[in-house]
Structure 1
């Protein structure tokens, strides 16, 4: 059987912990075939983002078209989008993909606290949410997007991630257009090295969907994968370091 083809539309992280670099590792280790359309190049490390260079919208679309027209796509993961213009253009192109699941991670702020999307880009996220199978915001992102009602408003599912919550137990909630569909609770893994958790989670879910898994099952496997990666963090850098790569991970 051929591996599921996962198109990743996201920014590059020079430090290797998040973005395209984390996506590639995740898709590959979960048995998928990763393709990329890079939306921005960043200079960043565990301490923050030192520079961002958006890729022109036309080049983002050209990368997408090269993959779609020749190799084909079984699922799409969207991360850092680069600009409002790119967000609108990407949404329009993906709307033409019939039956392909789309996972949108609405990246606004890096783990270090650096801003990765301006106000206009965040406003354009509405177009991406309207075509997404699943949106995966953390607590601050969900609040900025309008709260849990975005699931009903855009006719999508929302994975409200609880990693920014307080307490020893964290809960992720899957919210559909008609309300809560499922929830998962686990003990917090006490680590500073959480760079790339959102990117990794979204890519893992997209891989599962591309492989034909039901949405709750894809989320369950993705959560297990992220928790394994957190436990394997190598401790690189002086700030929020990258997670590890669970090469022996089995669902």
Structure 2
């Protein structure tokens, strides 16, 4: 699961007994050598799906971690890219990540996704692998924050993998992990919020709509379909209304499911 450059079992145990913020500060130097980093396969597929919806001027990577998604975003935006995260350690690792020459400048900002320090400054907001750190009751506030930092017509985009079936080993591994975390958080303070099976697509689309978005579900290319024909990975594209939509006219360039 972890290569020789990844964290040791002791380091993971210390992280798990810390707060979310301090835990990621500790893990940051070795984070890119763990399975928790968003895979290049997911990032590349998201970039391919987003390219026809552009061009984009300014982008925000929400809960950017060490910046893998931010680099992807830099290939889609012409003017500026911002990565925001509440872990100083993760941001420090992001700043030291090697970057290819060219492309827009990247600003790294320490901030909480539930209280973003921006005005309506972005055309595109993306996020990868961070939603397990938010309890379902926090989603309305989180999505309202994202809506507030988007310009009219801007999009909030993130991939969502299909949940594993109960007949699959992954289902029981993820369910077991969530159960252990619930016990840990009941017995230990500070809590470490990280659950794999609380971010459910039906709840997410409902709360995005309540926050003022128009939501479309695309298929993330390259991941194929399950035996029942459903996609193995979806791309959620939540759009903030622009002047055309406010006037009752259809908006151009939406993603097809």
With structure 1 as the length reference, what TM-score do the two structures score? 0.37
Larger Rg: 2
With structure 2 as the length reference, what TM-score do the two structures score? 0.37
